Structure 1
Amino acid sequence: MKRKIWHRRVIPALCMAIGIGLLMICLCLWQGAVRANESPTHTFLQAYKVLIDPGHGGSDGGATGIRTQAREAEINLDIACKLRDQLRLQGAEVVMTREDEGAVGKDKNTDMRNRRTMIENAGQDITVSIHQNSFPDSSVCGAQVIYAPGSEKGMALAACIQAQLDAELKPEKPRSITEGDYYIVKSGTAPAVIVECGFISNEVEEALLLKDAYRQRIAEAIAKGIADYLVQG
């Protein structure tokens, strides 16, 4: 009788202890997975700060798609946010001039001045402005990176990003990097580029730019180009 009572008391207690132990192990594994997802996958960019400027915003929608009238500003923001996430996974500190659909100022002039102020004071290593291109000839297509006239570092950054975009997107007629006398690339002292991710005036390219997976590929290619410049340069 005593043996049966012992079994009835000890075995359930033992099972409960084992169950609690397994639960604690699972909890620890889950917490470790969460921390891993929140932490950078790599840390080779942890010494660098990148400023990302999603072009346009608010009432300034930028260019519009030839078929769907899609707003450039919204495409810019989505690619910029994807790029931000890629760079943070590699350990970089990222500053954005905007992170929502709004503009950076109440009107165009104020918007541009505010962007310039951020670029001049953020202390970043490089500046990357995200845009989409447009041209009256709808056959023109392809991603292209622009840098400030006379900027050797800007040219080197542009070349790294252009090379990765061409490798990833595999355009039939790759475009070359080019100088551009634009307000953003001339702001601040850090090397700066404008990445024209494609032509939304081209029907085929517009359709691609409306796809989330294609935008992700663009963001990853830009991130690789940035890493090439920062780490190897």
Structure 2
Amino acid sequence: MRKKIELLVLLLALAGIYTVSRNLEKYVQSDQVKSEQERKMDLVVIDSGHGGSDPGKVGINEVLEKDINLKISKQVEKELKNKGYQVVMTREKDQMLAGETSGNSKIQDMKARVDLINEKAPGLAVSIHQNSYHEEEIHGAQVFYYSHSAEGHTAAKLMQQALLGADSENTRQEKANDTYYLLRRTQVPTIIVECGFLSNQQEAELLAGKDYQKKIAKAIATGIDEYLRNAADGT
């Protein structure tokens, strides 16, 4: 009788472990669930980070991240359209996606960005940002992707390589992340491109200039194009 009880307890424990693992698998897979058949592979969503009352980082040269994000995003849009892609911008002027006076406007803004990306179901979503660090010498563009997204990793790797077109001496590598809201909540491959460090004097000056903005936008568009072409070819 005792052995039967022990066996029953063991079976229940195994069943519990199986259920938890299945639920965990479902959770991980549910973060980015749209297949290529469900996505518009000729469509790209470009998310210009921050805006309105949310300036983002403030550069060592007093430039605002939100302004640089928008300028680079518009250049990326232009480059992609020249390549034949459809482009949806999360914002096209200096504004938040949520009402400035609404409660928790930052949270509502992020939710609105995620909702737009999920609704449009693009082949890829790219969020444009600028970085900052307390050590001024740190510099270089870097790409972030969701830890549990194989396609996001592929896109980030290709993008990191493409960014060498703007700065051939950049040694930064793409980086996984499982905490950024935008990466966790979007249902399509999404990457965040940190174009450089506004806390670095030289890089901040470059990022504030039209020539470098065009240069890095071209590199970003190249990375997007390469990812979507490879996806279309099944490679």
Q: What is the TM-score with the length of structure 2 in the denominator?
A: 0.77
1:23-78 CA-to-partner distances (Å, cap 9, x unmatched) read xxxxxxxxxxxxxxxxxxxxxxx951000100000010000111x21100000000
The number of equivalent residue pairs is 186
What root-mean-square deviation, in Å, do the aligned CA atoms of Structure 1 and Structure 2 show?
1.3
User: What is residue 142 of structure 1 aligned with on the other side?
Assistant: 140
Answering whether residue 51 of structure 2 is matched by residue 57 of structure 1, we say yes
1:37-116 alignment, distance < 5 Å: 48-66=42-60, 68-106=61-99, 107-116=105-114
User: What is residue 25 of structure 2 aligned with on the other side?
Assistant: none
> 3-state DSSP class of the match of 2:45?
strand
Answering whether residue 205 of structure 2 is matched by residue 207 of structure 1, we say yes
Give, as a single letter, the amino acid of the residue that structure 2 aligns with 1:95: V
User: What is residue 6 of structure 1 aligned with on the other side?
Assistant: none
Answering whether residue 190 of structure 2 is matched by residue 197 of structure 1, we say no
Give, as a single letter, the amino acid of the residue that structure 2 aligns with 1:62: G
User: What is residue 119 of structure 2 aligned with on the other side?
Assistant: 121
> 3-state DSSP class of the match of 2:184?
coil
Counterparts of 1:90 and 1:81 in 2: how far apart (Å)? 14
Counterparts of 1:111 and 1:189 in 2: how far apart (Å)? 17
Task: Answer yes or no: is the 8 Å Cα contact 1:186–1:192 preserved in 2.
Answer: no
User: What is residue 41 of structure 1 aligned with on the other side?
Assistant: none
Task: Answer yes or no: is the 8 Å Cα contact 1:131–1:197 preserved in 2.
Answer: yes
Q: What is the TM-score with the length of structure 1 in the denominator?
A: 0.77
Which portions of structure 1, spanning 4 or more consecutive aligned residues, are displaced by more than 2 angstroms? Answer: none
Counterparts of 2:41 and 2:153 in 1: how far apart (Å)? 22
> 3-state DSSP class of the match of 1:145?
strand
Counterparts of 1:103 and 1:196 in 2: how far apart (Å)? 19
Unaligned runs of 5+ in 2: 1-39, 100-104
Q: 1:179 aligns with which of 172, 176, 179?
A: 176
